[in-house]
């Protein structure tokens, strides 16, 4: 992990990696969504609305995975003072918030035909909404911190503390009786039939690769912006 702490070495890996992640991820998403929308059979109970899962589940995965990434990067920033860690955490925040929002909206659109309601304050839905608000707070905090320099340690602490919500979201359906159904996919196997499952796996992998490309692009942008800023400052000082 420490080799990525060097921005120059990071860029030499990130530059060629970005288009690969982006294009392969995009192609996998396109294939999975096409199959999920038109090829897979409907569910025996939900009917056609089961197709929303091919967007909803990857979005939920990225929303939760994104914050896990922020927490890991924040810990590395706090302990080892890696210069790239805070850049990585800030790069994850906006796409993470977006996918958390997509998860909430698509879930709501699934809930109406399935449960008969757009929204209910059950454990899973509420904890996911809390995650979205945590992202918004983190974005506000870290963009204020970026201007003042050293105070982005506060957003790193916030990133670590906020991670406590991730296991709460995951286990909400087991700890509390919720309207949301339990885990379909676990270590013991899947309760989703294989004819419905494969586009979900392709879609989740594709969205994850694209998410990686988005984060790399945002990190590269931030590194270049810092470089430009530093150079302009030096030029005006001369």
225 binds another protein (CB under 8 A): yes
Q: Computed from CA positions of residues 97, 211, 218, 26, in that sequence, does the dihedral angle turn out positive or negative? A: negative
Query: Minimum CB separation from another protein for residue 110, in Å?
Result: 7
183 binds another protein (CB under 8 A): yes
Output the CA–CA distances (angstroms, integers) from residue 118 to 105, 106, 145, 165, in the order listed: 9, 10, 36, 23
Question: SS3 for 42?
Answer: coil
Q: Which stretch binds another protein (CB under 8 A): 2-10, 130-138, 139-147, 214-222?
A: 214-222
116 binds another protein (CB under 8 A): yes
154 binds another protein (CB under 8 A): no
- Those residues whose C-beta lies under 8 Å from the C-beta of residue 185, and which sit 6 or more positions away, are 191, 192
- Binding to another protein, residues 86-105 (CB under 8 A): 94-95, 98-99, 101-102, 105
Query: Minimum CB separation from another protein for residue 68, in Å?
Result: 13
The rounded distance, in Å, linking the Cα atoms of 54 and 45 is 17
> 202: closest CA among 47, 34, 48, 19?
34
Query: Minimum CB separation from another protein for residue 106, in Å?
Result: 4
Query: Minimum CB separation from another protein for residue 144, in Å?
Result: 19
Query: Minimum CB separation from another protein for residue 165, in Å?
Result: 9
181 binds another protein (CB under 8 A): yes
The rounded distance, in Å, linking the Cα atoms of 88 and 125 is 28
CB-based contact 132:66 (threshold 8 Å): no
DSSP 8-class letter at 36 = I
196 binds another protein (CB under 8 A): yes
Site string for another protein, 54-93 (x = CB under 8 A): -xx--x---------------x--xxxx------------
177 binds another protein (CB under 8 A): yes
- Binding to another protein, residues 13-42 (CB under 8 A): 22, 26, 29, 33, 37, 40-42
- Those residues whose C-beta lies under 8 Å from the C-beta of residue 26, and which sit 6 or more positions away, are 206, 210
């Amino acid at each position: 992990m420490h080799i990525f702490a060097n921005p120059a070495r990071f860029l030499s890996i990130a530059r060629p990696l970005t288009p690969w992640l982006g294009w392969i991820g995009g192609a996998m998403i396109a294939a999975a969504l096409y199959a999920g929308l038109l090829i897979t059979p409907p569910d025996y109970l939900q009917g056609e609305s089961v197709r929303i899962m091919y967007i909803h589940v990857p979005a939920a995965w990225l929303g939760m995975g994104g914050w896990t990434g922020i927490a890991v990067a924040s810990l590395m920033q706090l302990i080892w003072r890696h210069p790239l860690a805070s850049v990585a955490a800030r790069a994850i925040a906006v796409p993470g918030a977006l996918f958390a929002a997509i998860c909430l909206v698509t879930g709501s659109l699934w809930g109406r035909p399935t449960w008969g309601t757009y929204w209910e304050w059950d454990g899973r839905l509420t904890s996911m909404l809390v995650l979205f608000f945590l992202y918004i707070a983190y974005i506000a905090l870290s963009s204020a911190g970026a201007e003042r320099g050293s105070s982005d340690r506060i957003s790193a602490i916030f990133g670590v503390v906020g991670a406590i919500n991730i296991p709460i979201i995951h286990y909400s359906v087991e700890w509390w009786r919720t309207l949301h159904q339990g885990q379909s996919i676990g270590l013991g196997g899947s309760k989703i039939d294989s004819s419905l499952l494969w586009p979900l796996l392709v879609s989740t992998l594709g969205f994850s690769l694209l998410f990686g490309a988005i984060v790399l692009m945002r990190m590269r942008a931030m590194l270049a912006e810092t470089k430009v800023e530093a150079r302009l400052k030096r030029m005006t000082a001369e």
